[in-house]
Structure 1
Amino acid sequence: MNRNIKKVAVLGSGVMGSRIACHFANIGVQVLLLDIAPKELTPDEEKKGLTLDKPHVRNRIVNSALEAAVKANPSPLYRKQDVSKIKTGNFEDNLKDIAGCDWTIEVVVERLDIKKSVYERVEQFRKPGTLITSNTSGIPIHLLAEGRSEDFRQHFCGTHFFNPPRYLKLLEIIPTPDTKPDVVDFLQHYGDLYLGKTVVLAKDTPGFIANRVGVFGLLDAMHVMQELGLTVEEIDKLTGPVIGHAKSATFRTSDVVGLDTTVNVAKGLGQSLPHDEAKAVFTLPDFVQKMSENKWLGDKTGQGFYKKTKGAGGKTEILALDLNTLEYKPSQKIKFATLEATKPIERLADRFKVLVGGKDKAGEFYRKSFAGLFAYVSNRIPEITDALYKIDDALRAGFGWELGPFETWDALGVQKGVELAEAQGKTMAPWVGEMLSAGHTTFYKVDEKGTRQYYDLESKSYQPIPGVENFIILDNLRAAGKVLWKNAGASVLDLGDGILNVEFHSKMNAMGSDVIQGLLKGVDMAEKGYRGLVVGNDAPNFSAGANLGLVYMFALEQDYDELNLMIAQFQQAMMRMRYSSIPVVGTPHGLALGGGCELNLHCDKVVAAAETYMGLVEFGVGLIPGGGGTKEMTLRTAAKYEEGEPEYNLLRNTYMTISTAKVSTSAAEAFDLGFLRRGDEIVVNSNRVIAQAKAAALEMADAGYTQPVPKTNIKVHGRGALAMFNTGVFAMKEGNYISAHDQKIADKLAYVMCGGDLSAPTEVSEQYLLDLEREAFLSLTGERKTLERIQSILTTGKPLRN
């Protein structure tokens, strides 16, 4: 059945409901957001003489919730104006309006009786054949469907979003026996393509997949901590980025989420899992019970496992809870010999053997916790899912793990993991031993075509992971021998069908000489025997910018010839890419800052992930964009001069974007700031970006791509505009809004964007602007205050205002 989702109703405007509504608005869907009508007036409403029948009062709860969501940081919206797609109302007056909706999502309080009463009313207005789903995280889906009509049950299932819905990629789909297969297929397709989710089909079991395994891991860490006498800070050090988990690790995450949430989920799982072999793990430790009684629930109550206080001189101090005394003490810096041994190991998968081999308490913690995790997930198949890859998908997308449990186990070695579990007295599921006995030694493998496969229990063989045919995963291509060239900072891979890809793999994908060499090599290779080039990677961030450490070193040594050469080479690489004979497509995602932004400005087309934070941020370190960014933004502005808006206004807007180092909060906002332009694309699911970029490169090649010619007719305004900018900047300085050094940088930027000290508006070439840009950049590297700003970023990560 063909479905077209034009309008969605969200019932319940709490934290989850309002954020789900915002995410649908992000992708252009009209939303009807409803909640209960108030039963009594607020004191403020009474003073104004309002009554309960006034629309303003009746929609107070839903409007207040939506207003709080819009103000939230990080924002649930790609752009603030997208909130206009959300219409609010209340259950009494507006539930009838769901008749015009294609999908109704229930997100009311987690009580079976309340949810069922809402469904009773929904049935009066819902149009037959439309989707109806619940966002419950704990109530069995089949219980929710009881007593409903056949049409309702056929179109009903669980759609469990994770909070915050914009940023966490997991969407669990939980059908009932009555749910029509085409409904499940549609929701999986829509969640992936339109909502940008990693969609995992789960069975209707307690906690579904992610919470069942994730909460087990959280509670098991608490129990092992008690057993080994470890502290809160030590556990957070052991369970954070070193094993590919979030920085907030175990206890900081609990403080953010709220201990009450952890307690409710854990108790719910403990009560509903009488036959779970690890049922004892879901018993909450004594310290959790005491913290709950004390209302030490985390951030929402001002204290939890951590507590912020003001120390001497008003400086913020972080205290950590001593679980033995339940008193707070200054948070300690943690060191373990085992962790020190992993510092030189950049690749996550290579760390695990070192971690479990540790001779200190850290090593013992890892041996116990990995043994418990491996045994637990082995025993969850086929209970919670028939396919092991779904458990990994759920933990990566829902809990932010870099590697899922089976991927972690693979990295350590399946046989080694079994031995680890047996040594700790854990019982593995029989299928693991059977798999090893049959000669299958890994859970995953990549075939010669670059297709990732998983071990399928039913067929006892390796099968392709469904859906990955829509993605291009560079690690899989690497495993299949598709790397054609590489150096320390970049690789050139064959994407197939005549398209190459340049991948960065420097720290934070910073763009140094190795990366520039890789870009030039990619263009050369593509021009000689291929049809197009994609610049993309699978790292969390596209690129944090140019190698600032190298700039600092040359500037500190006053080696301006070398610095000039470095900047010129960067500019030439951007121009080489822009004016090549083959189409070049950029794929920004995550951070695309400074040089990372400049690179994309010079691509023929950009296919951006929706979560792209893009900007020219050089001003913050005392510089101006020097890799072609100032030139390109000036060029793009000049191209708009015939559109009717006063030219100085257009130039000023661009100038302000660069001089205030604006960074887009989404790819949608990058269009507003001019970093993306007409013809560029946004892809909501970041897993699809490289595949879509390849398709775009092929489309341009098929259309008969013609090598462009560098522009020589860029209109610049000279002294007239320069006087305007200089006067404005001088006024800002006199008003103490900016420092003298800010003024100097701003004047340099204006000089380049106005084309220098020209007596009248003139048409100039790209190279003319590039030369001005490079000269200004170089002159600023000779300023002491610029070096102080660069040093601050390099050493503390914080910008310095001087």
Structure 2
Amino acid sequence: MGSGIACHFANIGVQVLLLDIVPRELTEKEQARGMSLEDAAVRNRLVNESLQKALKSKPSPIYHPDFANRIETGNLEDDISRVSEADWIIEVVVERLDIKKKVFENLDKHRREGTLITSNTSGIPIRFMSEGRSEDFRSHFCGTHFFNPARYLKLFEVIPGPDTKEDVIDFLKNYGEQFLGKTSVVAQDTPAFIGNRIGIFSIMSLFHMVKEMGMTVEEVDKLTGPVIGRPKSATFRTVDVVGLDTLVHVAEGIHENCPDDERHELFALPDYIRKMADNGWYGSKSGQGFYKKVKKDDGSSEILSLDLDTLDYRDRKRAKFDTLEETKTIDNVIDRFPVLIGGKDKAGEFYRKSLGALFAYVSYRIPEITDALYKIDDAMKAGFGWEHGPFQIWDAVGLDKGLELAVAAGQQAAPWVEEMQAAGHTSFYEIRDGATYYYDIDAGEYRKVPGQDAYIILDNIRESKAVFKNKGVVVQDLGDGILNVEFRSKMNTIGAEVLAGLNKAVDLAEKDYDGLVVGNQAANFSVGANIGMIFMLAVEQEYDELAMSVKYFQDTMMRMRYSSIPVIAAPHGMCLGGGCELSLHADKVVAAAETYIGLVEFGVGVIPGGGGSKEMALRAADTFKKNDVELNVLREYFLTIGMAKVSTSAYEAFDTGILQKGKDVVVVNKERQIATAKAYARLLADRGYTRPIERTDVKVLGKQALGMFLVGTDSMEAGNYISEHDKKIANKLAWVMAGGDLSEASYVSEQYLLDLEREAFLSLCTERKTLERIQHMLKKGKPLRN
């Protein structure tokens, strides 16, 4: 955990000193080498091994391999005095109060006055840790609970101690949001704080309920996954990944330290969980948990599921419910809950019981664990990956219905909820003037959720600020002369409606506004073009219509590139294929740090056809320097497409040439992305933005480059690195990026390259193996190698 936190601070440009304990004995390898306990390499072995293990883990804790150079390692004996150089000391040692207090006593001797010092504890009360420390230490000390993995989970709980200064709390909260990209939530100093208190309750409630209802692990994971806006790992698979031992530790801590909790008995471990823990069936770390991966006789692997009654592993069973079938046409997750609780089958009963219990429980946690209901929702969304928090879900089913569900589940909501109802308030949240307001229990009225001024929340302005909409997009007025075009298609795929919406947005912006942002706040920016439409046209051999569709895509990208207003793309999450091509043609990209961007068309048997192939040839040409080996430069851009490289962060996309240094920027907090993109659009407009001149000076290398690529693909096929069809696709891309078989290096226009690109794309769509690849992707969601 300490290495993960260190990596995330390195991610944002901070110099980090990572310290660990000194080993007490030599390893066999160290003994064989004649090393002693006094050797520096031995003394720093534990810290270095921990860091290297973190850096090699998947997914990576670091945005870019080079960022690891910002971390320096040492040990708590030789280097303890260096904490005097630090502005912030974070303790991440074992969860034992005696050890933590000993560490703090030592740190107090060396830290300078005013240095922040925080503990990443998840269970030990903060008030106990600073006892006996200096006044300056206590006033600058509190808990800062990162969730693991620190890079990916956004919750950052700030837990003040009894003497923590208010400005320290404000600084940590703001730093967490602005620089670390977190959702900062101030919590009370109670066991498990906010996220784990509610999250562990939710899991423990399910542990007891599944036995009562006779449900299987597959059924529960089917019901508690993406259908309700939770991670794919749902409940049992999540426990396997995190570790049952970790969950048991937190649950037992709550059971021991929260005797007055009205659901105290729920945190006692059911018999089958206790047996699993005693058996060491912790999940992924022990090789088995609720699921177990085994090798079959033929050498392949399969996943078995645990029978909760017999505790034997068996073949997985498919879970299917009529209630879930009714939600398949409801794209918006929050709109599914009224349908789910109305189900007539076991699924409906499950949702009524689990949500009723959850609603009652969270209502009693205010003011015990936090002073405001929105903080509970924020914690569950940021710490557990829930798309909606408990009070947002309660609003979705209705206040009265939620109270009914609680009673039906044998529980009663806290008195303040009925008082709110009696006062005529029917929801926990309201939207006013594009801002979210929450019900303040003490005041008995709605107050604005703080911190929103730095954000633009599209959900809050989609209807009130819309200036155009069709089935694929909504165009909103962001204010200050800037429009935003938000994709609303399934998985934000780019089809005819989205392209029409982009063109309309540019028209509107050029006529009455000063700039345009292309951004949304869905899970992913765009997974690419609508390949279903491409497949249908190709199968029906409607090649003229397909050619028109491809040209329409290309023309739209060029319309964005050469409009009279600045266009800013704001990609995040998956930004693949056509979504990447759109970003390539923006005046500036404001990417979220967690952007996985790439041209992946090879996976469906084609080359980028929306200007991506042209653009990479152009960028290669713009990179040529005097005395360069231009073929080598072009090859790197070719390989970006040919190997379907997808960055694992926005920072890696600078290496592939998809993002451009000095032009494009990265924001760590995705919540600030639209507001930041708007600010850049406004800045470019204020600087006197001028429509760019269309390019006719793109240097292509002709036969010289084409020959190199063809020799290379021949060698790759001969070595069985690529298939015959892979070679055909690569040769088509080579033709485009070389500018055809021109006899010598020449200067051509963008339109010349677009025409070559479109011709190559269409020719590949006539290939049977390409259609097989597209069909496989549509059916299986993964590429086919044929």
Tell me if both proteins adopt one fold, taking TM over 0.5 as the criterion.
Answer: yes
Partners of 1:239 and 1:569 in 2: CA distance = 41
The size of the alignment, in residue pairs, is: 785
Opposite residue 623 of structure 1, the aligned amino acid is V
Aligned position for 1:327: 312
Q: Structure 2: state its 5+ residue gaps.
A: none
Among 152, 162, 165, the residue aligned to 2:147: 162
Name the SS for the 2:298 alignment partner.
helix
Among 539, 552, 571, the residue aligned to 1:588: 571
Partners of 1:253 and 1:738 in 2: CA distance = 37
Partners of 2:626 and 2:509 in 1: CA distance = 36
Partners of 1:312 and 1:361 in 2: CA distance = 37
Aligned position for 2:169: 184
Tell whether the 8 Å contact from 2:436 to 2:460 is kept in structure 1 after alignment: yes
Partners of 2:207 and 2:431 in 1: CA distance = 36
Aligned position for 1:571: 554
Partners of 2:322 and 2:538 in 1: CA distance = 37
Please give the residue correspondences for 1:30-69 in structure 2 after superposition, counting only pairs within 5 Å.
30-69=15-54
Q: Deviations over 1:603-659 (max 9, x none)?
A: 001100000001001112111111000111111111121365322221111111111
What displacement does 1:778 show?
Answer: 0.6
Among 520, 531, 535, the residue aligned to 2:514: 531
Partners of 1:132 and 1:46 in 2: CA distance = 38
Please give the residue correspondences for 1:10-89 in structure 2 after superposition, counting only pairs within 5 Å.
16-89=1-74
Name the SS for the 2:462 alignment partner.
helix
Among 333, 336, 358, the residue aligned to 2:343: 358
Tell whether the 8 Å contact from 1:592 to 1:613 is kept in structure 2 after alignment: yes
Name the SS for the 1:654 alignment partner.
helix
Please give the residue correspondences for 1:217-256 in structure 2 after superposition, counting only pairs within 5 Å.
217-256=202-241
Partners of 1:527 and 1:602 in 2: CA distance = 17
Partners of 2:88 and 2:502 in 1: CA distance = 46
Partners of 1:371 and 1:417 in 2: CA distance = 6
What displacement does 1:312 show?
Answer: 5.2
Tell whether the 8 Å contact from 2:4 to 2:150 is kept in structure 1 after alignment: yes
Aligned position for 2:762: 778
Q: Residue 486 in 1 paired to residue 486 in 2?
A: no
- The 1:285/1:740 distance shift into structure 2, 3 A limit, reads same
Name the SS for the 2:326 alignment partner.
helix
- What is the alpha-carbon root mean square deviation over aligned residues? 1.0
Please give the residue correspondences for 1:665-684 in structure 2 after superposition, counting only pairs within 5 Å.
665-677=648-660, 678-684=662-668
Partners of 2:446 and 2:419 in 1: CA distance = 14
What displacement does 1:680 show?
Answer: 0.9
Tell whether the 8 Å contact from 1:231 to 1:322 is kept in structure 2 after alignment: yes
Name the SS for the 1:313 alignment partner.
coil
Opposite residue 261 of structure 1, the aligned amino acid is T
What displacement does 1:310 show?
Answer: 2.5
Partners of 2:577 and 2:674 in 1: CA distance = 21
Aligned position for 1:5: none
Partners of 2:639 and 2:57 in 1: CA distance = 25
Among 231, 249, 266, the residue aligned to 1:264: 249
Range that drifts further, 626-635 or 304-313:
304-313
Q: Residue 739 in 1 paired to residue 727 in 2?
A: no
Name the SS for the 2:259 alignment partner.
coil
Among 464, 484, 489, the residue aligned to 1:506: 489
Partners of 1:248 and 1:258 in 2: CA distance = 13
Partners of 1:575 and 1:359 in 2: CA distance = 52
Name the SS for the 2:153 alignment partner.
coil
Partners of 1:26 and 1:741 in 2: CA distance = 40
Partners of 2:349 and 2:571 in 1: CA distance = 41
What displacement does 1:551 show?
Answer: 0.9
Among 429, 434, 459, the residue aligned to 1:475: 459
Opposite residue 679 of structure 2, the aligned amino acid is A
Opposite residue 740 of structure 1, the aligned amino acid is E
Opposite residue 20 of structure 1, the aligned amino acid is I
TM-score with structure 1 length normalisation?
A: 0.97
Partners of 2:224 and 2:612 in 1: CA distance = 40
Aligned position for 1:374: 359
Range that drifts further, 552-561 or 102-111:
552-561
Q: Deviations over 1:308-351 (max 9, x none)?
A: 12235333222111111111111100011222222222211221
Aligned position for 1:612: 595
Among 506, 527, 541, the residue aligned to 1:558: 541
Aligned position for 1:172: 157
TM-score with structure 2 length normalisation?
A: 0.99
Aligned position for 1:707: 691
Tell whether the 8 Å contact from 1:349 to 1:412 is kept in structure 2 after alignment: no
Q: Deviations over 1:190-241 (max 9, x none)?
A: 1111100000011101110000001000000111111111111111111111
Partners of 1:358 and 1:752 in 2: CA distance = 55
Partners of 2:555 and 2:297 in 1: CA distance = 52
Among 422, 428, 439, the residue aligned to 1:455: 439
Tell whether the 8 Å contact from 1:173 to 1:201 is kept in structure 2 after alignment: yes
Q: Deviations over 1:584-621 (max 9, x none)?
A: 00000001100000000000011000000010011121
Aligned position for 2:498: 515
Q: Deviations over 1:244-292 (max 9, x none)?
A: 1111111111111111011100000000001000101101100001111
Name the SS for the 1:314 alignment partner.
coil
Aligned position for 1:792: 776
Partners of 2:782 and 2:560 in 1: CA distance = 32
Name the SS for the 1:342 alignment partner.
coil
What displacement does 1:424 show?
Answer: 2.5
Tell whether the 8 Å contact from 1:532 to 1:583 is kept in structure 2 after alignment: yes
Among 137, 151, 157, the residue aligned to 2:136: 151
Name the SS for the 1:494 alignment partner.
strand
What displacement does 1:242 show?
Answer: 1.4
Tell whether the 8 Å contact from 2:462 to 2:474 is kept in structure 1 after alignment: no
Name the SS for the 1:248 alignment partner.
coil
Aligned position for 2:637: 654
Aligned position for 2:260: 275
Runs of 4 or more off by more than 6 Å in structure 1?
none
Opposite residue 718 of structure 1, the aligned amino acid is G
